[in-house]
Amino acid sequence: MLGENIILNYVNKKRRKVIPVLIVMLIAAICLSFLLGRYSITPREFFGILFSQIFDIEPFWNSKMVTVIKQIRLPRILLSCMIGCCLATAGAAYQGVFQNPMAAPDILGASAGAGFGAALAIINGRGSAGIIISSFIFGMLTIFCVFLLGNKAAGNRILGLVLSGIMVSALFSAGTSFLKLIADPKDQLPAITYWLMGSLSSAKVRDLQFSIIPMLIGIIPIYLLRWRINILTLGDEEASALGVNPKKIRYIVILSATLLTASSVAVCGVIGWIGLVIPHIARRIVGNNYVILIPTVMLLGALFLLIVDNISRNLFATEIPLGILTAVIGAPFFIYLITREGEIL
């Protein structure tokens, strides 16, 4: 017994070392991302601009570089990190709460509702701010409908929520298809199609300001309750015996994860696979303990989407939608994970 405890403590300490390594990797990737793009910026110029915000440095760069860094690359880089972090965290939370390894951030229909809201705003000629607000409102409205129907469903409440999510998601997807049918094929239809594929090409500072509050409201409870998610995976009876209210915790986590999904989709469109693949990668690295898993997922998700966004805006002259790249990268990797000999999700 003593030997087992020593081994477990050693493994846990080793796994915890993954987090500082990921932090260093993320910081390095962020710094590198500022240098990548159509407008060339050298490391010396970037760090000169960065340190000039703190120290009095004689400028050896032009004003256009400052504009590119502050107004274009900074909001895009921060948003890609935030959205990747939120979608991956939402996926891990859903998988823990529903005890289903195939659970993903769009399981309750938030993505479908947000997509409908964005398409409706585009049809009505709204600008980017109107699209974001409409997308967020309909994403949250979808969840309200799902909870309303799920509470009226007979039998298992969790199963009722999932089935309600599938039904409501199908309805909003049908609504989006109808809006695409009546959209102007010259400008509105391409705009809807491109938005639904996910992109950060139009990321602005105001998008950061809009999304940061709901993202924080969603991610803080999941982080603070991560040890309780461990208990939920044991089953409701065991959780109650340990002094945890499983129903209350489950609803808090579901609402928080849905808020993360809706706020992310509202800003960048529908980006799949992150919430499904990243939690499984994190489990291969640190195991199933949510105390360590959640911070690992947060960092991995931010790093993954940042790298994908860099590929999107630098690989070709025309940007590739993020949803395409995450599917191209995520699907084969997920197939590799589930087909490894002796490995079970």
The gap from C-alpha 133 to its chain's centroid, in whole angstroms, comes to 18
Q: Could you give the C-alpha distances from 126 to 117, 118, 123, 188, 254, in angstroms and in order? A: 11, 9, 8, 11, 31
Position 13 scores a pLDDT of 60
- What pLDDT is recorded for position 60? 83
Residues of the chain with pLDDT under 50: 1-8, 10-11, 341-345
- Distance (Å, rounded) from C-alpha 211 to C-alpha 196? 18
Which tokens is 319 given?
A: 């940007």
The answer to whether 116 and 175 are in contact (CB under 8 A) is yes
pLDDT at 292: 93
From the options 3.90.960.10, 1.10.3470.10, 2.60.40.10, 3.90.700.10, give the CATH code of 2-105+198-339.
Answer: 1.10.3470.10
**pLDDT for the residue 241:** 81
> What local confidence, expressed as pLDDT, does residue 14 receive?
59
Report the distance separating Cα 310 and Cα 81, nearest Å: 11
pTM for the full predicted model: 0.89
Residue 278's pLDDT is what?
93
- The structural domains of the chain, with segments of one domain joined by +, span 2-105+198-339
Give residue 256's pLDDT: 93
121-155 pLDDT, tens per residue?
Answer: 999 988 888 888 999 999 889 888 888 888 777 76
The per-residue pLDDT for 336 is 77
User: Can you tell me the distance from the alpha carbon of 167 to that of 147, in angstroms, rounded to the nearest whole number?
Assistant: 12
